[in-house]
Structure 1
Amino acid sequence: MKSSLFLTCFIVFSFLLFSCQNPQSSQSLFEDAQEISLSKTSLQDKIKGGWAGQVIGCTYGGPTEFRFNGTMIGDHIPIPWDENQMKWWYENVPGLYDDVYMDLTFVDVFEKYGIDAPDSLHALAFAHAEYQLWHANQAARYNILSGIMPPASGFWKNNPHSDDIDFQIEADFAGLMAPGMVNTAADIGNRIGHIMNYGDGVYGGIYVAGMYALAFVHDDMEFIVEEALKTIPKESEFHQCITDVIQWYSQYPDDWKRNWFEVQKKWSFDKGCPDGVFKAFNIDAKINAAYIVIGLLYGKGDYGKTIDIATRCGQDSDCNPANAGGILGTMIGYSKIPDYWKQGIDKVEDMNFKYTDMSLNKVYEIGLKHALEITARNGGRIEGDQVIISYQKPKTLPLEVGFEGIYPTKRMNLAKNLNTANQEVAFKIQGKGLVITGEAVKEASLSHDNLLLNVWIDGKLMEEVRMPTNFQSRKHEIFWFYDLEEGDHEVRLQAKQIPQGYQVNVREALLFSSINPGNQNY
């Protein structure tokens, strides 16, 4: 009797020990477990796989970035890959790695000021950084430099790009520092994501970070894709879009192009971004996240196939394979990324990314340090060479909806200038809101300056607009406002301080209405 009891206990103990030490052997073994064990060696390998996988994917997609908008990249179109690709891009087009050095900005703040560093420090770090920014990041930079701090800097009424891809491409760090802790990754992402985004724009980053966190402890990509989505509210368009991709994958498991066509038919509209509405260009978070997921699902664990599919979906075709390559790289580890795809990485691993004092080799080391600290802070512990992770089941975030109750209706070509010779631009609109696009420019011999103009609507001064000529600190759009009374309005832009040799180019007005124009996507 005792021997039988002893044998039973021994079998149960061995089963539990095996499931903890081999978390990827079977999803079901530890889905409900409280703790999962990884060796430090394995954890480091996965962190390296995440960072290296991101850089490889970004480099591979670099030549095609935004050159195929609204269309996939055909199989007949070659995408180069050899041992010199990464070094060439590092040295000649370092701006390609904006999604990486933005990640590293946040990693650096955590390293300098601790894991509890407030959002304001992260915001100020990237707002004052030397690198150039676009879309939600640049709109947030302007806001922060103007004293509008997070989360207001990313709120959609303060940032017309709040649904754009920006935080999604730079959220990898949040998952890489939270192995197996999907809610911790979401908490980090939710704080920092609101610096530059809101709603779906934040959800994109949280979803990517969640997939990274889960990739440390699962080897089933279908499970990772579906489980991470549980952090996102079902009512959001982001959740609905990714749910569709998963459903179409089950219908067409061997035809990624059919899935792409279904995504294009239903989700290719852009509601907010002034550069993308009514155009083929689409930097919206959800459709580009759909391309990440298409790559991850149809790649079926093959690294090259994964980043190739994510790239050939088009649009932001460097950032999407970067996310996909990093997530898969985390799952399989650096050591299992095929040598073909790692060729040339040894040439750049000690090179600092431009605008930073951090290289891949340095972030491998710092990444392990941060992951161990986050693990210990969240119920885990380190026992010799073993890292005991307190595994987290995903919790759903509250619902946020940007651009709620408004619909784009028209692009007006203005093609006017404000300068010393032309002091006013006036036009009429119909609707509830508008965005006026354009930029401040100067003659080459002149120094940078801040130009000033007033925006009047129906005779009321709406804003005194400061327009820097410096690209680093520029205002991404001249003016936007979404809370007019539905109806006819007169808009007038009036030069206030625009010296000789300087000019504000007034390009377009994107109009919005509270009345749904009948487009089924809205």
Structure 2
Amino acid sequence: MKQFLALLSLLLMMKAGIAQSSVTISAPELSNKIKGGWAGQTIGVTFGGPYEFGFQGSFIGDYQPLLWYDGYLKETMLNIPGLYDDLYMDLTFVDVFNKYGFDAPIDSFANAFAHADYLLWHANQAARYNILQGMKAPASGHWKNNPHADCIDYQIEADFAGLMSPGMPNAASAISDRIGHIMNYGDGWYGGVYVGAMYSLAFISSDMNFIVGEALKSIPKQSEFYQCINDVIGWHKKYPNDWKQTWLEVQKKWADDIGCPDGVFHPFNIDAKVNAAYVVIGLLYGGKDFTKTLEISTRCGQDADCNPSTAGGILGTVLGYDKIPAYWKMGLQEAEGINFKYTTMSLKTVYEVGYKHALENIRRNGGKVDGEKITIKSQPVRAVQFEKSFDGSYPVVKIPVKWSEAKDVLRFDFEGTGFVIKGHADKGGSGAEYVFKTALYVDGKLVESPVLPVDYIKRRHELAWKYDLPKGKHTVELRILNPATKESVKAWDAIIYSDKLVNGLLQNGGDPGRDMLKK
């Protein structure tokens, strides 16, 4: 049986155009694919931009036309620069490699984005706050320090890892191990590992089924990320002509977010595995047709700009820049010389820098560059280490919380194993750079003294949280030590965690929210 499986694997590798020990690619072809990858993701994020999180828990119906026209790329890059967070984060890391080399210390990557002027959200922003407060990676991305650890963040910025590792998925994973853990952990990190592996394989295979399936070998089978994507592959085989049925299956089985405080008990879903499923739906049902791939991955909804960006980048790498349809490159040349805002890099720049990095990485991993003949040493895909965020922690209820009349103490009781307090520090129109000092007490003991900057770029994404408490009754107090006149700390609600899920009503017939408020 083992011999049969080994032979089958070899036949699949041969079908995909992958030799046992090495792959040869010409310099122009390599350059063309790198350009296709960067251009594809830029086109994809621009195309999906207007629909980002406009469709939560639903797909975009066929009756709704999706916008694209000549000049749209340049117009969007100039007028909506914040749309390109997946690009400017990518380029931040590319720039660090360019300045300090492949052995640049992890702190150089962490500090580069933490001190940048661009806006960030979710796992990226939580990691930025941690780094600015002196926490180092990988602790900055760990779920106990980052409630957004399973969010999509590294998944949408891992393109660079695959584009600089052509045909070398394990090399891409090694890069992701260092950089992806700055902001993510567990399934959130696996999203980036998987995307990097798909990009890497897109250089040496044009078989999309192979790319999607082979890249999944980089993810541990016991992870929910693996299981979700493996389900999508299976549903594609079962419903080969109906992407909406596969979308519905994903929604039924995988759409309940337990980590991201913004997605718990809400149709909003920025979870990595669900949005990666939408990327894979686009790639598989798109059939290497650029229009169908972008349209399907966008119509899946949720993070509907980043998902077609990822799908477009991977397919752009498979096709190469020259074979991306002219319709989708309308106005691209006008936009290629524009630096992405907050960076000193444009598409033209990263085409050249990305090619240079790819050649260097090929050499570092046993390959050769001989004029225009480039030999890549093959890498059978290996799974990265297993890790799981929010292990044994499940949200059971969301309760309102409020400040004391003096606005300096927030107190509530709960029964469970953890909590997250949602809210933010607000400038109140002062324009000041005020920083609130706070103290967090659990059961009368000081457990943390978080600072809360009112500066949105430096903000703490949530006010406070604590997981892995002993199961039982607890009292939480968040105290403001330096109240302000104009600035304030807004608090909305608290998500309560326990060691088991509560499905629907409690077993005693009560309502979880109402019963919690009685305690």
Give the TM-score normalised by the residue count of structure 1: 0.93
State how far apart, in whole Å, the 1-side matches of 2:16 and 2:274 are: 34
Instruction: Work out whether 1:474 is the aligned partner of 2:459.
Output: yes
State how far apart, in whole Å, the 2-side matches of 1:27 and 1:42 are: 20
State how far apart, in whole Å, the 2-side matches of 1:507 and 1:154 are: 24
What corresponds to 2:440 in structure 1? 455
State how far apart, in whole Å, the 1-side matches of 2:478 and 2:349 are: 50
What corresponds to 1:365 in structure 2? 352
CA offsets, 1:53-111, max 9 Å, x none? 00000000000000000000001111110112111111111000000000000000000
State how far apart, in whole Å, the 1-side matches of 2:366 and 2:333 are: 36
DSSP-derived class of the 1:348 partner: helix
Q: Quick check: 1:150–1:194 contact (8 Å CA) kept in 2?
A: yes
Where in structure 1 do 4 or more consecutive aligned residues deviate above 4 Å? none
Q: Pick from 413, 417, 426 the counterpart of residue 432 of structure 1.
A: 417
User: Could you tell me which amino acid in structure 2 is paired with residue 376 of structure 1?
Assistant: R
1:510–1:183 Cα change, 3 Å = same
State how far apart, in whole Å, the 2-side matches of 1:268 and 1:110 are: 36
1:372-387 equivalence runs, <5 A: 372-387=359-374
Q: Quick check: 1:53–1:328 contact (8 Å CA) kept in 2?
A: yes
1:64-463 equivalence runs, <5 A: 64-414=51-401, 416-417=402-403, 421-463=406-448
User: Could you tell me which amino acid in structure 2 is paired with residue 500 of structure 1?
Assistant: T
State how far apart, in whole Å, the 2-side matches of 1:260 and 1:402 are: 24
Q: Pick from 484, 495, 505 the counterpart of residue 510 of structure 1.
A: 495
State how far apart, in whole Å, the 1-side matches of 2:45 and 2:407 are: 44
1:10-89 equivalence runs, <5 A: 27-28=14-15, 30-89=17-76
DSSP-derived class of the 1:239 partner: helix
Structure 1 residue ranges without an equivalent (≥5): 1-24
Q: Quick check: 2:172–2:200 contact (8 Å CA) kept in 1?
A: yes
User: Could you tell me which amino acid in structure 2 is paired with residue 403 of structure 1?
Assistant: F
Q: Quick check: 1:27–1:220 contact (8 Å CA) kept in 2?
A: no
CA offsets, 1:443-468, max 9 Å, x none? 32341111012222221122212000
State how far apart, in whole Å, the 2-side matches of 1:177 and 1:135 are: 26
CA offsets, 1:154-208, max 9 Å, x none? 0110000000000000000000000000100011011100000001111000100
User: Could you tell me which amino acid in structure 2 is paired with residue 193 of structure 1?
Assistant: G
DSSP-derived class of the 1:280 partner: coil
CA offsets, 1:395-448, max 9 Å, x none? 01111011001111011122x3479x4222211111000000111112323411
State how far apart, in whole Å, the 1-side matches of 2:470 and 2:372 are: 64
CA offsets, 1:303-332, max 9 Å, x none? 010010000000000000000000000001
User: Could you tell me which amino acid in structure 1 is paired with residue 355 of structure 2?
Assistant: L
User: Could you tell me which amino acid in structure 2 is paired with residue 338 of structure 1?
Assistant: P
DSSP-derived class of the 2:268 partner: coil
State how far apart, in whole Å, the 1-side matches of 2:472 and 2:398 are: 17
Q: Quick check: 1:48–1:330 contact (8 Å CA) kept in 2?
A: yes
Q: Quick check: 1:418–1:505 contact (8 Å CA) kept in 2?
A: no
- C-alpha displacement at 1:26, in angstroms? 8.2
DSSP-derived class of the 1:497 partner: coil
DSSP-derived class of the 1:455 partner: strand
- C-alpha displacement at 1:344, in angstroms? 0.9
Once structures 1 and 2 are overlaid, which stretch shifts more, 162-171 or 385-394? 385-394
DSSP-derived class of the 2:252 partner: helix
DSSP-derived class of the 2:344 partner: coil
DSSP-derived class of the 2:450 partner: strand
Q: Quick check: 1:412–1:508 contact (8 Å CA) kept in 2?
A: yes
Once structures 1 and 2 are overlaid, which stretch shifts more, 211-220 or 509-518? 509-518
CA offsets, 1:378-406, max 9 Å, x none? 11011111111111110011110110011
Q: Quick check: 1:439–1:475 contact (8 Å CA) kept in 2?
A: yes
State how far apart, in whole Å, the 1-side matches of 2:262 and 2:125 are: 13
Identity of aligned residues (%): 55
User: Could you tell me which amino acid in structure 1 is paired with residue 484 of structure 2?
Assistant: P
- C-alpha displacement at 1:30, in angstroms? 4.5
State how far apart, in whole Å, the 2-side matches of 1:383 and 1:98 are: 37
- C-alpha displacement at 1:483, in angstroms? 2.0
State how far apart, in whole Å, the 1-side matches of 2:199 and 2:291 are: 18
Instruction: Work out whether 1:487 is the aligned partner of 2:480.
Output: no
State how far apart, in whole Å, the 2-side matches of 1:175 and 1:380 are: 16
What count of residue pairs does the alignment treat as equivalent? 493
1:469–1:418 Cα change, 3 Å = farther
DSSP-derived class of the 1:194 partner: helix
Q: Quick check: 2:430–2:486 contact (8 Å CA) kept in 1?
A: no
State how far apart, in whole Å, the 2-side matches of 1:131 and 1:317 are: 21
State how far apart, in whole Å, the 2-side matches of 1:171 and 1:29 are: 23
- C-alpha displacement at 1:286, in angstroms? 0.1
User: Could you tell me which amino acid in structure 2 is paired with residue 148 of structure 1?
Assistant: M
Q: Quick check: 2:16–2:210 contact (8 Å CA) kept in 1?
A: no
Q: Quick check: 2:13–2:19 contact (8 Å CA) kept in 1?
A: no
